[in-house]
Amino acid sequence: MASKINADVEEPVLRVTRGSKRKLTSPIIKHEDGETSNVAKQSHKSLHLLSSTKLELLQAENSGVQICEKNANSVTSHVPNPTKTLKSKQTVKQMDKESHEKDSQGNGKQEKIKKEKKAKAEKTDTGKKVSKNDVPKPVMVIPEIIIPSNKPIIKREDGPSPWNGTVKYDNKIFLGAHISAAGGLENAITNSLNIGGTSFALFLKNQRQWVSKPMEDVTVERFKAACATHNFLPHLILPHGSYLMNCGSSDPVILAKSRANLLDEVQRCERLGILYYNIHPGSSCGKGTREEAIKSIADSINWVHDQTPDSKVTVVLENMCRQGNTIGGDFSDLAEIIQQVFDQSRIGVCLDTCHALAAGYDLATAHGFDSFLEEFERVVGFRYLVAVHLNDSEGELGCHRDRHASIGKGKIGLEGFRRIVNCPRFRDIPVVLETPFISDEHYKKEILLLKSLANSDTVCA
């Protein structure tokens, strides 16, 4: 439908578009040559067409056609004023010129941002300023590994620690949990206190990565200071090893990485003043015999002991659940590893209650628990027991599945844990929860629950 023009008053004329019947109120401008233009239509085009609209406005002014005051706002709201635009451009150019001059003098905005970024990049925890190139990148170094042989056997003495005089024996049960050390290793001590723990486990570095940055001296100082402040003795702290490590592997690359990682973490424990380092023994992965895997694990420990001759750190073997080709489900596995280690004063065992039930040791009954203790003493010996992981089991007896449950919520049950808490064999060592993490408050409630199971002659630290 053709547009109608009211040339006398230059008011917008209603137009109806075909199909939509939408009313348009765009002003129509009549030129001397009789042509009409819809300014709003021109202004709705893309930004790169604004120059043509400006040209039409200039032509309209030159031709003597005036835009009525009533429609001025409608036009100028879509089409920028050329004079204002020119002034704005001049202002921007002036600001850019001034900013450039300031930057060249070293006090401009861009220069200020650069200085702030540089200062942030150079700042370290110690307050010293170093360049990015000075910050060491974490690299995994695989040292030359020569397994020692024919060395004299050093027997382990009775008690929680072979180092007489370094451990105070209180004949108490020290309950705790595996605690987060996020933000700094010293935070694990605070987190343990918050749940009412008197012992704790933690990871010393990312447990799912081979490579980690070196431990800084300030980290060591803060951790030792926190231990001293809150009276956490070294034999009540149980670091857990990386889940990637497999010292029983027949793969030479995996084995070399595992041994390098084992050495690194033992050295970290030594620097922190911790006595124990807990690991899963390993697995043959079905590519070698059980005997070969056991020898490989013992060789790995012997090599680490040989690399750290003056260390007091004990490598702690954890019993497993007999899942697949893992080593440590039978107490005989642990005994054979220990027998092949030369310095047996630096080898120990951590008993995991969930793993034991899943492996077939019946901790849910009094008879089963007594048999469990008797076999461990006969096959391994309680002089090697240095820690306990307290976990209920989702799986049934002998299920061979590593599925932890909250205390009293699994197949061991509260009566099973009553026997464990009151067992004299579990005194003066870290007895830590590894139950599914819900919250720190939940851990606190579980520790209180365990304490409520203690008899009158059992003292909970």
96 is catalytic: no
Query: How high is the pLDDT of residue 144?
Result: 76
Model confidence at 85, pLDDT cuts 50, 70, 90, reads: low
Distance CA(121)–CA(209), nearest Å, equals: 25
- 205-264: per-residue pLDDT in tens? 988 888 888 999 999 999 999 999 998 999 999 999 999 999 999 999 999 999 999 999
31 is catalytic: no
Q: Which residue in 61, 243, 370, 425 is the catalytic one?
A: 243
- Whether residue 19 is predicted with pLDDT greater than 80 in this model: the reply is no
- Whether residue 34 is predicted with pLDDT greater than 50 in this model: the reply is no
Model confidence at 83, pLDDT cuts 50, 70, 90, reads: low
Q: Is the pTM for the entire model greater than 0.85?
A: no
Model confidence at 103, pLDDT cuts 50, 70, 90, reads: low
Model confidence at 3, pLDDT cuts 50, 70, 90, reads: very low
Distance of CA 427 to the CA centre of its chain: 32
Q: Which residue in 333, 362, 402, 446 is the catalytic one?
A: 402
What CATH class has 174-452? alpha beta
Q: Does residue 270 contact residue 231 with C-beta atoms inside 8 Å?
A: no
208 is catalytic: yes
70 φ/ψ sector (left φ>0, alpha ψ -120 to 50, else beta): alpha
DSSP secondary structure of 91-112: HHHHHHHHHHHHHHHT-SHHHH
240 is catalytic: yes
Query: How high is the pLDDT of residue 91?
Result: 62
Q: Which residue in 18, 22, 48, 208 is the catalytic one?
A: 208
169 is catalytic: no
Q: Which residue in 111, 306, 434, 440 is the catalytic one?
A: 434
Model confidence at 75, pLDDT cuts 50, 70, 90, reads: very low
Q: Which residue in 10, 186, 318, 428 is the catalytic one?
A: 318
Sign of CA dihedral 21, 23, 24, 29: positive
Q: Which residue in 156, 235, 240, 305 is the catalytic one?
A: 240
402 is catalytic: yes
Query: How high is the pLDDT of residue 9?
Result: 42
318 is catalytic: yes
- Whether residue 460 is predicted with pLDDT greater than 50 in this model: the reply is yes
- Whether residue 431 is predicted with pLDDT greater than 90 in this model: the reply is yes
- 105-156: per-residue pLDDT in tens? 556 667 667 777 776 666 554 555 555 556 566 667 777 788 888 888 888 8
Q: What are the start and end residues of each CATH 3.20.20.150 domain in the chain?
A: 174-452
Listed in sequence order, the DSSP H helices in 124-181 are none
What is the average pLDDT across 441-449? 95
Query: How high is the pLDDT of residue 25?
Result: 45
Q: Which residue in 280, 322, 346, 419 is the catalytic one?
A: 280
Q: Which residue in 276, 404, 428, 446 is the catalytic one?
A: 404
- Name the token pair of 71: 């429609």
C-alpha angle with apex 240: 236 to 245, nearest 5 degrees? 155
222 is catalytic: no
- 322-339: per-residue pLDDT in tens? 999 999 999 999 999 999
Q: Which residue in 264, 299, 336, 352 is the catalytic one?
A: 352
361 is catalytic: no
- Whether residue 444 is predicted with pLDDT greater than 90 in this model: the reply is yes
What is the average pLDDT across 372-394? 96
What is the average pLDDT across 1-28? 44
Query: How high is the pLDDT of residue 44?
Result: 46
- Name the token pair of 359: 């492996």
Query: How high is the pLDDT of residue 170?
Result: 83
